[in-house]
Structures are given as structure tokens and as C-alpha cells.
Amino acid sequence: MDFPAPPSGFKVTYIGNPDITVEESNSASQESYNRGKQEATSFYQAEIKKLREEIAVQQNQLLGEINQKVVSTVQELEVRLPDLVIGIAERVLGQVKLDGEEIEQLVKSMIAEFADEDEKLEVFLNAKDLDLLKGLRRTEDDGNSSSDQDEEGFASAIAGIFDGLDGDDALLSEYPEVKFFTDDSLESGDCQIKSRFGLLDGRIATKLRKIEEELRGDD
């Protein structure tokens, strides 16, 4: 800078950036606001994503623990359920009182499994069950005339002395070749049938054992 004459002094009225307009100021403020908003949005979005990932990990861990407990509980039930079912069945069956008709149906259902009407069979029952079956047969025969009963009374009494020695027959009209015997080793509701093919075991204990094997998945 050249002066025509040496200056006598200097006076500074303003030091700084040049003045800006209102529009420029507003624009700068808006840009700052937008930038701050974007930074805050990015920050919170990152925090939310992080939180979601943490929750997802915890959720997976919780679901894994629940699934493990479910599997463990199911496995425990698979082990304990057969004993529980058999125990309940034994208690229930032990309290069931069978009548003559139920004994008859039990025997008929077993006979029907492998025999026809002409098959010679030996049926073994608990003494009380056989008495119930005899009682049912006598009830069915009550339709006979009193005179017929009088004539057969003495013969029946004599036959009763030897009752059970050679088996009781004619207790099931559909199966005339079936003879019945008592077996003191059988419980009420048990039934065993002997034929030319072998022995059909219808004891309750045997049935329960088969049920238990099926529940346990035994081959």
C-alpha cells in the first residue's frame, strides 16, 4: 500500500469476518440443526440396533433354556409315565368288581381270538369268577318249570359233589366244547385258555406288562 504522504495515524473500526445477511444466517442455522438432527438420529438408531441385538441374544438364550427344560421334562415323563399309568391301572383294576356278565364277555372275547364254536378248550378262572359265571348260567336257566327243577334237583346235588374235578361245561351255550376249571393262582379278572395251539394268557398282570412295554417302546 502506497501513501502520498506519511500517515499521521491509524484508526481500526472493525476486525473480523465480513457481515452476513439474514438469509445466510438462517441457512447456516438450518444446516447446523439438520446436521445435529442427523447425528442424533444416527446415534439413537445405532443404540436401538445394539439394544435389539442384545435382546435377541437374551431371547435366544432364554428360548434355548426353555426348550432344554421342555426336552428334559418330556424325557422325564417318558421314563416315569409308564410306571404312573401302570400304577393307576393296577389301583383302578384292583377296585373293579366284576359280575357274571362281564366274566362271560371276558371269556368269550378271549375264545374268539383263536377258536371257533367246535374248538375244545379248557378255560381257567379264579374260583369266585367261575362261581359268578355259574350263577349267571343258573339265572338264565331259571325259566325252566318247577317240576323240571324238582326232577333235576337230586341229580344236580350229586353232580355238585364232583363239581370242578373234570371241569364245568355247558356254561357257554355258544361254545359247547369249552370246559371250565378253577385256578387258585389267578386273580379276579384273570383268564387263561388252553387249546391244542398252546396257552392264551389273559391275566391282568400280563396285559399290564404288555401295556407297559408299549409305553416304554420295548420291542
Domain ranges of the chain: 21-95, 97-142+156-216
Show the CA angle centred on residue 74, arms to residues 69 and 76, nearest 5°. Answer: 95
Residue of higher predicted confidence among 24 and 164: 24
Cα separation of 23 and 4, whole Å? 41
Name which of 98, 115, 104 is nearest 140 in CA terms: 104
Q: What is the pLDDT of residue 34?
A: 92
pLDDT bucket at 45, cuts 50 / 70 / 90? very high
Cα separation of 199 and 183, whole Å? 14
- Residue 87 near residue 168 (C-beta atoms within 8 A): no
Q: What is the pLDDT of residue 140?
A: 65
What topology does CATH give the domain 97-142+156-216?
A: hypothetical protein PF0899 fold (3.30.2320)
pTM greater than 0.75: no
Detail the DSSP E strand segments found in the chain: 121-125, 168-169, 178-182, 191-195, 198-201
pLDDT bucket at 154, cuts 50 / 70 / 90? very low
Task: Give the tens place of pLDDT for each residue, 61-85.
Answer: 999 999 999 999 988 888 887 777 7
pLDDT bucket at 216, cuts 50 / 70 / 90? confident
